[in-house]
Amino acid sequence: MTKVGFLGSGLMGQPMIKRLLSSDIPVIAYNRTSSKLDALKEFGVMLAQTPGEVVQNSDCIVLMLTNAAAIRELLLSESASKLSQKTIIQMGTIAPQESRTLAQEIIDKGGEYLEAPVLGSIPEAEKGKLLVMVGGTENQFKKWSAFLQHFGTEPILIGEVGSAAALKLALNQLIASLTSSFALSLGFLKRQGVDIEKFMGILRQSALYAPTFDKKLDRMCERNYDNPNFPTKHLLKDVNLFLQESDSLNLMNNSLNGVQKVLEKAIELGLADADYSALYSAITPKE
């Protein structure tokens, strides 16, 4: 049986680890904030004191970390000499070029690398219904597809390393743009005194509708951003990555600069760890 290591047991990492444990797959995990692992103890997770301990005691190491800098800190600094014959599956959101660079460094150290970022949040992670996008070779996809099905029933091979990372960033750019546009329309109509249910009734019947609007409607109307599935600070991180990558591709991305400023304002308001629908409070301040 494959011995699985897990680096990163935050909002998404915890339910993903539980999925593996519920299938009797042994997992050894490490988190820089050790208390985040407490909830996993009763499910049988093995706790590591260092990232190197995870690498040493695993065949496959899943990365669900905040950014490429965290990956370098936890995987490549202390544990670099131990990566030979190990498979690294990078499942967080990083830039395409960051993923390609990591792949080459890990291959140079005798390891194997593929990326498998996911679309979805905590409810989908708990049910094993994440959308898993794979960047790697055909052989890697065939080898690891059954394992990735613990997180999502139909992993999709997008292409070589970097392609899945690019697709994930493109999707998160849509999350930011759609949500901020909806928040702006909602705030505009509230200030105009228009009945919001009538607005939603028309919107739901139109080609403009996206299900995320209903998911975020009550949060915005009530300004209740507690218990986030995806915090504001993480969405800003992804927007910044998308802007950097799209700049290098000579794309006109001015519209996203406005969304970036909105997210930065939400963080200034103390909403960094709140659900990203908190951007509504930046767009529509309380009167």
For the chain, the 3-state helix, strand and coil shares in percent, each to the nearest 5, are: 55, 15, 30
Least confident of 39-48, 63-72, 256-265: 39-48
Average pLDDT, whole number, for the chain?
94
Give the range among 12-16, 127-131, 252-256, 264-268 with minimum mean pLDDT. 12-16
* Residue 186, pLDDT score: 98
Phi, psi of 28 (to 5 degrees): -115, 130
Strand-pair partners of 119? 131
- The fraction of the chain above a pLDDT of 70, given in percent, is 98
Between helix 163-192 and helix 211-222 the angle, nearest 10°, is 50
| pLDDT of the residue at 287 | 83
Domain architecture of the chain: domains with CATH: 4-160 (3.40.50.720), 165-283 (1.10.1040.10)
Is the model's pLDDT at 191 over the cut of 60? yes
Query: 260 has which bridge partners?
Result: none
CA-to-CA separations, 126 to 5, 138, 163, in angstroms, rounded: 19, 28, 26
Can you list the alpha helix ranges (DSSP code H) found in 23-121?
51-56, 68-71, 96-108
Instruction: Report the SS3 class of residue 23.
Output: coil
Determine the pLDDT at residue 117: 97
| pLDDT attached to residue 42 | 83
Torsion of CA 119, 124, 127, 130, to 10 degrees: -10
Range in 34-38, 199-203, 275-279 with the lowest mean pLDDT: 34-38
Kindly report which listed range (1-5, 12-16, 162-166, 229-233) carries the lowest average pLDDT score. Answer: 1-5
pTM over 0.85: yes
Tell me: pLDDT of 105 over 60. yes
Does residue 61 have a pLDDT over 90?
yes
Structure confidence at residue 114 as a pLDDT band (50, 70, 90):
very high
* 10 — pLDDT class (breaks 50, 70, 90): confident
Mean pLDDT for the stretch of residues 135-159: 97
Q: Which residues of 115-145 are buried (b: 16+ CB within 10 A; e: fewer)?
A: bbbbbbbbebbeebebbbbbbbeeebbeebb
Tokens in use for 245? 């990558």
Q: Check the CA dihedral 29-1-88-240 and report its sign.
A: negative
Categorize the per-residue pLDDT at 79 as very low, low, confident or very high, splitting at 50, 70 and 90: low
Instruction: Pick the range with the lowest mean pLDDT from 39-43, 175-179, 259-263.
Output: 39-43
DSSP string, 212-258: HHHHHHHHHHHT---S-SSBHHHHHHHHHHHHHHHHHTT---HHHHH
**Positive/negative CA dihedral, 219, 220, 225, 230:** positive
Segment among 16-25, 188-197, 275-284 with least mean pLDDT = 16-25
Token pair in block for residue 111: 């390891």
Is the pLDDT score of 130 beyond 90? yes
pLDDT value, residue 58: 93
pLDDT for residue 77 is more than 90: no
Average pLDDT over residues 200-225: 98
- Strands 46-47 and 60-63 turn out to be unpaired
Dmax over CA atoms of the chain, in Å, equals 63
User: What is the pLDDT averaged over residues 46-58?
Assistant: 91
Q: Of the candidates 212, 64, 272, which has an alpha carbon nearest to the alpha carbon of residue 200?
A: 212
Tell me which of 41-50, 78-87, 141-150, 247-256 is least confident. 78-87
- Write the burial class of residue 150 (CB in 10 Å: 0-12 exposed, 13-18 middle, 19+ buried): middle
CB 99, CB 165: distance < 8 Å: yes
Band of pLDDT at residue 80, cut at 50, 70 and 90:
low
